[in-house]
Structure 1
Amino acid sequence: MKDEQHDNDDGPLWALAQRNDGAGFAGLFDRHRPRVYRRALSLVTDPHDAEDITAAAFYELWRKRKTVALVSGSVLPWLMVTTVNLARNNRRAAGRYRSLLSKLPRSDEPARAIDAEEIEIRQRLHAALQELSPTDAALLVLTTFEDMPVWQAAQALGLKPPAARVRLHRARKRLRADLHDLNPSIRTAPEGTF
């Protein structure tokens, strides 16, 4: 009995973990992860959520390792309380999300099917955007698809507005050339004010 109690004593591993020893913390993780996961799964029923809660509980244990005290030589009680609290937070967040979704307006029209031609256009547009530099592609997406003023997109990308306008002009010209057979109409973004 004494040997079994000694085997369940987290003291030596906890002392290592408190001194930033990853191997000591890994030992605690290996020892307690199955029970923490089972408890999380009993509280949320979704295996993915239970995995996230388990990971978050151990993350919190690591983060608070300087202040967490052992209970009867074990960190398991602290982990269990943390797991219960994380599961409760998970359920509340899921409830808020469901409530939000239920309040969103719904369209009575069925979703429109995407035809083969539209799929081809999207694929070609994606390929053409991939040929641009990341900055030019982002500039084009922000101004053309997201209706962001050029000056605002420039600021988001760390560019001066005049440089952004030149880059945008070149990107549009290149996109028109790449997609010339589709007769693209790339509308210009509003300039906005400073």
Structure 2
Amino acid sequence: MKQTKNQPDIAAILNGDTQEFSVLVDQYKDLVFTVAIRTLKNREEAEEVAQDTFIKVFKSLKNFKGDAKLSSWIYRIAYNTCLDRVKKHKKELKNMPIDEVRSEAVMEMGNALDGMVMQERAATIKRCIQQLSPVDAALLTLFYFEEKDLKEMAKALNLSPNTAKVKLFRARNRLGAILKNQLEPETIQSYGQG
């Protein structure tokens, strides 16, 4: 397991160094909370899930092999903890008498599920964007994730607006081809399992 400069000392944490674990929490608390709030759409729930996530991280840190980024590993734990919370709420709603189900609770579940779908789409797009050239990746990131307009993108990348428009069009086509290649095998595989 390689250790980078920015990464907390995992060996020290495993040996009981609580200060080093505090460094890890400080470094990743924003990431975890962002995942939780976007998925659950409720601050109190997100705070609870963030705490649960770091408990899970601490308990399973010995299983971290270092073959993925620590941030990706923690992100996955946070995301799965959010999914567990959503499933728990769904089960509670099923067991609740129909006259006690508030319309707000139903809306919260819908928002959480919509958030998860959007998050999965964003994660897939980000993975595919990483396969593109740096300029294409930058254009698509600015367009989709930072919601910049053509003038802002052109200025950020030192291009003319027309050049940015053409490059964005081509980058979107390349991204579409990568997404198609990536999603078709997954779709075919999921139908094969059914």
| TM-score after normalising by structure 2 | 0.46
The structure in which a higher percent of residues are helix is 2
* Bigger Rg, structure 1 or 2: 1
| TM-score after normalising by structure 1 | 0.46
